Structure 1
Amino acid sequence: MQQSGASNARAYLLLLIGIAALAFTAPWVKLSNFEPATSAILRCTIGLIALLPFAYIEVKKIGALNKQGVILSIVAGLFLGIDFTAWNYSIFYVGSGIASILLNLQIIILPALAFLFDRERIPKSYFIIAPIMILGVVMSGGVFDGTSGTTEGPSTVYGMNIAILGTLCGMTSGCCYGIYLYTSRKATKVNMRQIVQPMALATAAQLVAPIIFMTFFSDRGFDLVNGVMVSGALPMNPETTLGDPITTMNWFWMLVLGILGQAVAWTFVQYGSVRLNSTIVAGLLLLSPISTVAIISIILFSEIPTSIQVLGVVIVLAAVAYQNNLHKVLFKKPATKKVA
């Protein structure tokens, strides 16, 4: 019993460390200031290098992943690579805090996939929560009031309103994140003890999407010279204007992003998620976007959301909480002992 308690405490500790790292991930992307596809490639490469020694130790200690686990981990990583690339653009277009909120669209995607492929029952509340969630996401992105969530910069990018484009990027990211969660959950079910190996394989597969995007759709290519922002803000013509030269500090934040935001965050969250109650995990995971939008992004970048965006954020977080049954935990009456 004591061993179980110690194991539980360790799972909580690692989960909270992972959540703290996730809360800073979007700000670290912005602080590193690399071109979005380049940023995704560097982040995954650094994360993979950090994970490989631990993956090797795991193979020696408890064995390698089975074939199904390998396939599922790779598929999960392919979609997470799309997620990262789209999310990086969203961070620069609507701000690190709002981008973190848009990512929560995954709560609509994950149950839908589980229903389609695993025949898992969808609660009736899903059909009410889903449209409310989409409305909250659109409001959070600043679509209704035309703001990008940043204090200065262009109002349009590639001929499109920056708030709309940033929201679309964030929604794409959230959809792909939902697919990642679905496939990684199945990978975990067929390999309950292996944690690092699925993360390492998924991280390697994440390189595919940004490399394809960089090769065929970006004019910048693999840019290690110039960033995105100029003096901490998007230039008025980000399509053609290069950002500030990449500095030692930008590389420092990229290393932090790759090691803590990639290797540590995802592995620790996965470790805690498979060992703790899913409702508790869902509740604790909400601390990450809340911290990013309400504290970190405001302090670091002065990203002050409008009243409509704040309402959208509240709607999204409330929808996430309800869909994960957090309301049942909060309003659950404590059991009373019967006196004989």
Structure 2
Amino acid sequence: MAVVSSYSATVGLTIGCIIFGLGSLIVAHVDIGGWAMAFWRLAISGVIFAVLAKLTGQRMPHSRRAIIYGLLSGVFLGLDLALWHESIYAVGPGISTLLNSLQIFFLAAIGFLYFNERQSALQLLSLCLAMLGVAMIGSPEFAHNTNATWGFIAGIVSGGMLAASMTFIRKTHDTEPTPIFVLMQLISIGGVLAMIVPMLVLDMGNIMPNTLSEVGWVLVYGAVMQCVAWGLIVYSIPKLSLTLTGLLLLTEPVAALIIDYSWLDKPINTLQWSGALLTMFAIYLGSIKPKPGALRRYRFFSRFYRRKYK
């Protein structure tokens, strides 16, 4: 039974990451601001998950802390999506998705700074390799793209927001096991509330879709990319080892890079391809923890909160 569960989680995570990467194609073609796009994605998914939770009889957790953690996960996911969208507009889906995948290093930094998680020599090496890879990707981009600085900043910070969102998903489950549809509903509500003010300030005049085609793509983006892709990712991650998770998550930037190059005619030279491969290799190395403690990067959250609140 455990083998079947692991296999289904592996397939689910791979499919979720590929679909997630395909979502960048919609973002690149729909003329809506990045913050507004995040708002609509989370609002549409929130309605769908509320209906699914009602139909399946799933209930909100009794713990107020679990509810707050779920909402906070949505706040950070909203920030992640909005900044990722802005990075897509500036440097394209491939590079922006690769930068967003640097979230693994933000998780390591949280562990080191706040919970005394020591980093192995392999992880320090992976950080150096990732920095070199990003430099290889960025040097040609800065030479011809005036938006490259903002694109790289937004993409990297979005990775930090994604790490925070994943952290609060773990905290929610550690506080009280929460059904998947209810958890996704809480995440959607938190994200929608967080997007209202920045959307109205930063995307005024560029909030609503302009054509029926754009309305359709926004609906697809919210229903498929958030409900299906993110739902599969959230469902699968707790069931897999961190090493395998880190490897499978690389399917997302790979898919986005291929889309960027083949469908959107993004000029990516040999140096940038080499930097992308080096960065993805570094991300994989950064996901590996020395034995014992294969899942320690995620488990330190649960250990800390069990000690603090038991």
**Scaled by the length of structure 1, what TM-score is found?**
0.77
Q: Which residue of 2 aligns with 1:229?
A: none
Aligned length: 291
Structure-2 change in CA distance of 1:51 and 1:147 (3 Å): farther
2:104 aligned partner, one-letter code: I
- Residue 208 (str. 1) matches residue 206 (str. 2): no
- Contact 1:104 1:316 (C-alpha < 8 Å) held by counterparts: no
- Contact 2:40 2:222 (C-alpha < 8 Å) held by counterparts: yes
Structure-2 change in CA distance of 1:72 and 1:121 (3 Å): farther
Give me the whole-angstrom Cα distance separating, in 1, the residues matched to 2:266 and 2:140.
Answer: 17
2:148 aligned partner, one-letter code: A
Give me the whole-angstrom Cα distance separating, in 1, the residues matched to 2:12 and 2:125.
Answer: 34
Q: Which residue of 2 aligns with 1:298?
A: 261
Q: Which residue, out of 222, 233, 238, partners 1:269?
A: 233
Give me the whole-angstrom Cα distance separating, in 2, the residues matched to 1:290 and 1:169.
Answer: 19
Percent of aligned pairs sharing the same letter: 25
Structure-2 change in CA distance of 1:21 and 1:82 (3 Å): same
Structure-2 change in CA distance of 1:224 and 1:217 (3 Å): closer
- Contact 1:286 1:317 (C-alpha < 8 Å) held by counterparts: yes
Q: Which residue of 1 aligns with 2:44?
A: 46
Flag structure 1 segments of 5+ consecutive residues without an equivalent.
149-154, 156-160, 226-245, 329-340
Map Cα deviations across residues 237-291 of structure 1 (whole Å, 9 max, x no partner). xxxxxxxxx3222222211110111111111111111112222222111111112
Give me the whole-angstrom Cα distance separating, in 1, the residues matched to 2:262 and 2:233.
Answer: 25
Give me the whole-angstrom Cα distance separating, in 2, the residues matched to 1:326 and 1:256.
Answer: 37
Give me the whole-angstrom Cα distance separating, in 1, the residues matched to 2:194 and 2:272.
Answer: 30
Structure-2 change in CA distance of 1:76 and 1:45 (3 Å): same
Asked which structure has the greater CA Rg, the reply is 1
- Residue 127 (str. 1) matches residue 124 (str. 2): yes
Q: Which residue of 2 aligns with 1:22?
A: 20
Alpha-carbon offset, residue 314 of structure 1: 1.7
Alpha-carbon offset, residue 65 of structure 1: 5.4
2:276 aligned partner, one-letter code: V
- Contact 1:32 1:251 (C-alpha < 8 Å) held by counterparts: no
- Contact 2:44 2:223 (C-alpha < 8 Å) held by counterparts: yes
**Residues 319-330 of structure 1: matches in 2 within 5 Å?**
319-325=282-288
For 2:207, what is the secondary structure of its paired residue? coil
**Scaled by the length of structure 2, what TM-score is found?**
0.84
For 1:288, what is the secondary structure of its paired residue? helix
Give me the whole-angstrom Cα distance separating, in 2, the residues matched to 1:132 and 1:7.
Answer: 34
Q: Which residue of 1 aligns with 2:11?
A: 13
Map Cα deviations across residues 295-324 of structure 1 (whole Å, 9 max, x no partner). 222232111313332232122101101112
Structure-2 change in CA distance of 1:250 and 1:126 (3 Å): same
- Contact 2:48 2:223 (C-alpha < 8 Å) held by counterparts: yes
Map Cα deviations across residues 211-253 of structure 1 (whole Å, 9 max, x no partner). 22223344x345325xxxxxxxxxxxxxxxxxxxx32222222
Structure-2 change in CA distance of 1:139 and 1:279 (3 Å): same
Give me the whole-angstrom Cα distance separating, in 2, the residues matched to 1:187 and 1:164.
Answer: 35
Flag structure 2 segments of 5+ consecutive residues without an equivalent.
292-310
- Contact 1:91 1:166 (C-alpha < 8 Å) held by counterparts: yes
Q: Which residue of 2 aligns with 1:76?
A: 73
Give me the whole-angstrom Cα distance separating, in 2, the residues matched to 1:139 and 1:214.
Answer: 33
